[in-house]
A and B are shown apart, each in its own frame.
Chain A
Amino acid sequence: MRDLMDKPAARKTDRSIPMEVRQAADDLIMDSTVHLDRMELDAWIECFDETAEYHVIPRENLEVGYGAAVIRCNSLDVIKDRLMVLDVSSKYNPHWDRHFLNGTQYLSYEDGILEARTNFMIVQSSLEGFSKLFVAGHYEDKIVMTDAGPRLRSRVVVLDTFSVPNLIAVPL
């Protein structure tokens, strides 16, 4: 059977990464998702560095080696454009999101860039109070340590739930 597990082989936590660096990154990752849950999109974008990228990629495309994403933001400008469109023109199911993260795995720390990996689930609740698992996947983050604190240099959202329930409007 084809190997459906992560490729390349699972990497281990780099335990030499200083605790304070990990702690700062933990806070950033947590804050970024709480901003999304609260629809504080201006605060969410503040989590990103000026040269940031943000992508949501269906896991099946990664498994087959295809390049297409469902959201592809190659620059901070494009991330901002998506939020602007969401604000002025997108229409979607009224809902509340709640992210559930497990512990982050820190894989490397070189030249001020921290590589981190975090599983997530998002539970979506209707305004009538009915909840369901919306999507599951993991974040592959590259986090840069700046004077102002840690910022996301890139976030790749790997989407296990690539047969998306209805639609994705709010970033994951």
Chain B
Amino acid sequence: MKDFASVQVNWPRKDYSRVPYSIYHDPEIYQLEQEKIFRGRCWNVLCLEAEIPNPGDFRVCHVGDTPVVVNRDDDGELYAFVNRCAHRGAEIVREPWGTAKEHTCIYHAWLYNRKGDLKGVPFRRGANGKGGMPACFDMKNHNLVKVRVTSFNGVIFGTFHHDMEPIEEYLGPLFTKHVGEMFNRPVKVLGYQRQRINANWKLYPENIKDAYHGSLLHEFNRTFGLSRLTQVAGGYMDEKHRHSILFQYKGSDSDEEALKAYIENGVKKGEIAGLNDYSMVNIIDENPFGMSTRVMNVFPNCFFHQIGNTLAMRKIRTLGVDAFELTWVLYTYEDDSEEMVQHRLNQANMVGPAGLISMEDGEALEMVHRTTKSAAEEEMAVIEMGGIGEIGDRDTRVNEVTIRGFWAYYAQLMGFAPEGAEQ
């Protein structure tokens, strides 16, 4: 294993209110993240059970960079293995989804079952009495690398650590409650939206934890009152500050008072525009906690949103230090009326790569990544909105403390948290 003792990060403040820009660009940090975060002591989201409903169904998912095949066996059980042949490393499953009895590597036809156990090696005993594997070769020692999987209300998580705590414990009570509520009955997948963003992956959880930008970058939010800094809102975390939920209550401010506040704060483009068709921003009441929007990050690669009536699990896959893929898995409930399904499909206009309140995020992240590349070692992001010092929950969107929560947990896992740092 590579020695990463040399990987150091200069945190000038113990509350993570300064983040050195180099952290987005250092290839050694990126490699260490694969080991300590994605293959480390975390539960990574893989996919939804509804994406692989039948025996034999599989999906290729990613844990960081690592391709992982998730599949369902005849008994309905879920199994996952790394998609790398135990012979000489070829990719085994070559289609992103499908149904298969077993998996055969095309290179030399080694055969694996759905659990990832090696079941066949052609010409193991040679041919015509010649060649073949040595007598000491035992197939049992050459299974694929297994990923432990667990399903939380139909959301499949995986980990390389077979002794990870149960998922409910990892989520903690707040996220068990909210993720559990979003998946409190069987769901049906509506489809995918994907985008490739030329930015370091950490900028995405930062963005999702950034309550401050929601109505400044996304003017649609401000214009139609979906999310405004003047609303009743908040940013909460689990006790380790690694997961986050941002939420707000539409209608808890008035257009007039919002317009006034934004103009007073120098945001000139505050005009309220009209739509021809308001169904897109019309929210049918279904959140039992009354929130019009909630967006969660379950550390490290997993996100959930309820934005009005659009529901999705989002996940990221790293593509090197400079890029990641973001996948939005849109869903509906099996017991939804056809009308509700259509409403959710229409509201999906707000999200994804062309989303009226999400397209800007891709651009913001690419801008940050591009310009911080040339920053000097001592140049840093300033994260002080919502206060400095102790990391905790806030009942406002004028808040970035949740971002500091991300860095605090991240630095601990990476093993380079400064002495006496906030946690």
- A residues adjacent to B (C-beta < 8 A): 1-2, 56, 58, 60-61, 64, 66-75, 77-78, 80-82, 84-85, 88-93, 162-169
Instruction: Give bound CA distance, A95 to B217, whole Å.
Output: 19
Greatest chain B CB density within 10 A among A2, A69, A70, A72 is at: A70
Asked whether A91 lies within 8 Å of B360 as measured between CB atoms, the reply is yes
B95 at the interface (CB under 8 A from A): yes
Q: Given A61-B192, A166-B197, A168-B354: A81 and B348 within 8 A (CB)?
A: no
A68 touches B191 (CB 8 A): yes
The one of A64, A74, A80, A167 that contacts B363, using a Cβ cutoff of 8 Å: A167
A164 in contact with B194 (CB, 8 Å)? yes
Contacts of A168 in B (CB 8 A): 353-354, 359
Chain B, range 326-362, C-beta contacts under 8 Å to A: 330, 341, 345-346, 348-349, 352-356, 359-360, 362
**Residues 205-226 of chain B, each 1 if its beta carbon lies under 8 Å from chain A, else 0:** 0000000000001111011000
Task: For the complex, give the distance between the alpha carbons of A162 and B352 in Å.
Answer: 11
Instruction: State in angstroms the CA–CA spacing of A68 and B280 once bound together.
Output: 15
Closest A residue, CB atoms, query B271: A88
Q: Which of A72, A88, A169 contacts B219 (CB 8 A)?
A: A88
Minimum C-beta distance from B357 to chain A (A): 9
Q: CB distance B273 to A84 under 8 Å?
A: yes
The residue in chain A whose Cβ has the minimal distance to the Cβ of B279 is A78
9 residue pairs of the A-B complex, CB under 8 angstroms, read A56-B354, A70-B193, A77-B277, A84-B273, A88-B271, A89-B219, A91-B363, A163-B194, A167-B360
For B222, list chain A residues within 8 Å (CB).
Answer: 89
Interface residues of B in 60-97 (CB under 8 A from A): 95-97
CB of A81 within 8 A of CB of B189, answer no
Chain A: which residue is nearest B319 at the CB level?
A: A163
* A62 nearest CB across to chain B (Å): 9
B277 touches A66 (CB 8 A): no
Binding site for A on B (CB under 8 A): 95-98, 189-198, 217-220, 222-223, 269, 271, 273, 275-277, 280, 325, 330, 341, 345-346, 348-349, 352-356, 359-360, 362-363, 366
Interfacial chain B residues near A60, Cβ < 8 Å: 96, 192
Give every chain B residue within 8 A of A78 (Cβ-Cβ).
276-277, 280, 346, 349
Chain B proximity of A11: nearest CB distance (Å): 25
Q: A58-B192, A68-B330 are in contact. Are A88 and B223 (CB under 8 A)?
A: yes
List chain B residues, Cβ under 8 A from A2: 95, 98
Q: Which residue of A lies closest to B189 (CB)?
A: A66
Question: Which chain B positions have C-beta within 8 A of A81?
Answer: 275-277, 280
Q: A70 to B196, alpha carbons, bound, how many Å?
A: 14
Instruction: Tell me, rounded to whole Å, the shortest Cβ–Cβ distance linking A57 to chain B.
Output: 8
How distant is B98 from chain A, measured CB to nearest CB, in Å?
6
Contact A164–B353 (Cβ < 8 Å): yes
A169's partner among B97, B220, B223, B359 (CB-CB below 8 A) is B359
Q: Which of B97, B195, B218, B353 has most chain A Cβ within 10 Å?
A: B353
Given contacts A81-B280, A89-B223, whether A67 and B363 have CB atoms under 8 Å apart is: no
Closest A residue to B194 by beta carbon equals A163
**When the two chains form their complex, are residues A68 and B193 in contact, meaning their CB atoms are under 8 A apart?**
yes
A89 nearest in chain B by CB position = B219
Chain B's nearest CB lies how many Å from the CB of A36?
14
